[in-house]
Amino acid sequence: MTDNNSPPGSPKVNPDHNSEANPLPKDDSSLENIVRRFQDSMSLAKKHKFWETQPVGQFKDAGDTSLPEGPIEPPTPLSEVKQEPYNLPSPYEWTTCDMDSEETCNEVYNLLKNNYVEDDENMFRFNYSKEFLRWALRPPGYCKSWHIGVRAKTSKKLVAFITGVPARIRVRDEVVKMAEINFLCVHKKLRSKRLAPVMIKEVTRRVHLENIWQAAYTAGVVLPTPITTCQYWHRSLNPKKLIDVGFSRLGPRMTMSRTIKLYKLPDQPATPGFRKMELRDVPAVTRLLRNYLSQFVVSPDFDENDVEHWLLPTEDVVDSYLVESPKTHDITDFCSFYTLPSSILGNQNYSILKAAYSYYNVSTKTPLLQLMNDALIVAKKKDFDVFNALDVMHNESFLKELKFGPGDGQLHYYLYNYRIRNALRTSELGLVLL
């Protein structure tokens, strides 16, 4: 299994590491093919020893529209939730990571910096900043007990991590209290020892203790069963560096100077009234965003507190801009991106790739294409090397035209203990996880 979650990745062809998704050969009636199908199905059946035991959509049920949408298992009485933590292998112990502590935050930062998600070719690794981690892990109503670490008992070294934060997620007409699970990481030297299932069970237990029974998460690996599979697209802002570090390649019949010219952007945003979001804008942005997100099948149910936390600009973490009509002073459009650098592994000249990730964007008056071009312009001015976006919401409408190229990163979205009858189109998804 590769460790790829989503890209730090480079926009190259994706090596096929997902045989599960391969279609059957056209003529499937020969004995050879029947035997192969049987073997495949046996290996598939054995494939997910842990996930088979969990209340998630199972591969065998895919396409069975007779199964109802909604919770797969009912909640159990809180008194029946296991009160003690799960057992870890004896050299390890649980720790709750207090992200307010500078020391703990440093330990988490270093564990992830050295062991978290890499692209398939191990050229880049996510390098979430400490400020970003504090922001991502302390939204309104967060639970410290959901920031779970594993230490080696003797050295006290932090060797694994998993987190949850609370969120209200709307699925069609239902707003469901969920945990968003992220930052699952096991030290490279402790891989393939089945630590991850114990960590997932432990975070599940702690979420249950708060009377929450559903979760949302993303991963670069195929597990039972994605609600949708998105693709990352990349827009070069600093093409020379991207080519130098192997993130992208010079196109056929292209020179470096033609490439630089191709990706050049104006110095200033084009839209009159385009400005940075401020605290006073929270009510208007919340209205705009709630109204916009209501059209998607799955989206967060943001209130003003959430918008203040998740979207008010925070230096080097999240940037948000809006369009205030110069005439009416109405807030008509909004765009945002978060900052997630990647370490560049083994390059002589560069150690960090500065990437912006498209977050939530809403257009009512300014065409989305123009709004996103303005987002690219401000990202370029802030010295980002690349602007990444998933093909969620209405993003497909601007990707090609604004010179984004498809990447090799696929991102699968999952719900825990909540069945969706059919997989969604990516454009039906209104949720971006960090």
Nearest CA to 297 among 171, 411, 196? 171
**Rule CB under 6 A: which of 100-119 touch ligand MYA?**
115-117
CB of 129 to ligand MYA, least distance (A): 17
Q: Interaction with ligand MYA in 359-418: which residues (CB under 6 A)? A: 416-417
> Measured in whole angstroms, how far is the alpha carbon of residue 330 from the centre of its chain?
31
Query: Least CB distance from residue 89 to ligand MYA, whole Å?
Result: 11
Segment lying near ligand MYA (by CB under 6 A), choices 204-212, 229-237, 375-383, 385-393: 204-212
Nearer of residues 120 and 319 to ligand MYA, judged by Cβ? 120
Q: Binding ligand MYA by CB under 6 A: which of 5, 238, 320, 366?
A: 5
Decide: is 423 part of the binding site for ligand MYA (CB under 6 A): no
Nearest Cα neighbor of 89 from 206, 190, 211, 173 is 190
Q: What phi and psi values does residue 385 have, to the nearest 5 degrees?
A: -90, -30
| DSSP-assigned letter for residue 428 | G
Query: Does 81 interact with ligand MYA (rule: CB under 6 A)?
Result: no
Q: Which of 136, 134, 116 is CA-nearest to residue 124?
A: 116
Nearer to ligand MYA, 346 or 367 (CB): 346
Q: CB nearer to ligand MYA: give 191 or 381.
A: 191
Q: What is the DSSP string of 97-140?
A: --TTSHHHHHHHHHHHHHHS-B-TTSSEEE---HHHHHHHH--T
Element (H, E) at 258: helix 256-262
- Residue 311: which H helix or E strand, with range? helix 304-311
The three-point CA angle 9-12-17 to 5° equals 80
* Residue 343 in the binding site for ligand MYA (CB under 6 A): no
The residues, ordered by sequence, that sit 6+ positions from 277 with a Cβ below 8 Å of its Cβ are: 285, 311, 312, 313, 320, 321, 322, 334, 336
Smallest distance from ligand MYA to CB 123, Å: 15
Among 47-55, 91-99, 151-159, 327-335, the segment contacting ligand MYA (CB under 6 A): 47-55
150 counts as binding ligand MYA under rule CB under 6 A: no
CB of 106: closest distance to ligand MYA in angstroms?
19
User: Catalytic: 209?
Assistant: no
Check if the beta carbon of residue 296 is closer than 8 Å to that of residue 429.
yes
Q: To the nearest whole angstrom, how small is the minimum distance from the Cβ of residue 262 to ligand MYA? A: 33
Taking the CB of residue 205, how many other CB atoms lie within 10 A of it?
16
Interacting span for ligand MYA (CB under 6 A) from 85-93, 185-193, 327-335, 357-365: 185-193
Please pick, from the candidates 72, 123, 133, 179, the single residue that binds ligand MYA as defined by CB under 6 A: 179
Backbone angles phi, psi at 216, to 5 degrees: -125, 145
Number of residues that bind ligand MYA (CB under 6 A): 37
Task: Tell me: does residue 78 bind ligand MYA (CB under 6 A).
Answer: no
Considering the rule CB under 6 A, would residue 155 count as an interface residue with ligand MYA? no
The Cα 197–Cα 200 span in angstroms is 5
Question: Binding of ligand MYA at residue 189 (CB under 6 A)?
Answer: no
Residue 195 in the binding site for ligand MYA (CB under 6 A): yes
The nearer residue to ligand MYA, 219 or 340, going by C-beta atoms, is: 219
Residue number, 187 or 240, with CB nearest to ligand MYA = 187
Distance between CA 355 and CA 362 in Å, rounded? 21
Pairing of strands 386-390, 355-358: parallel
Binding of residue 130 to ligand MYA (CB under 6 A): no
- Dihedral (Cα; 137, 140, 143, 148), 10-degree rounding: -10
Q: Which residues are catalytic?
A: 434
Binding site for ligand MYA (CB under 6 A): 3, 5, 48-51, 115-117, 179, 181-186, 191-197, 200, 203-204, 207, 212-215, 217, 219, 221, 223, 416-417
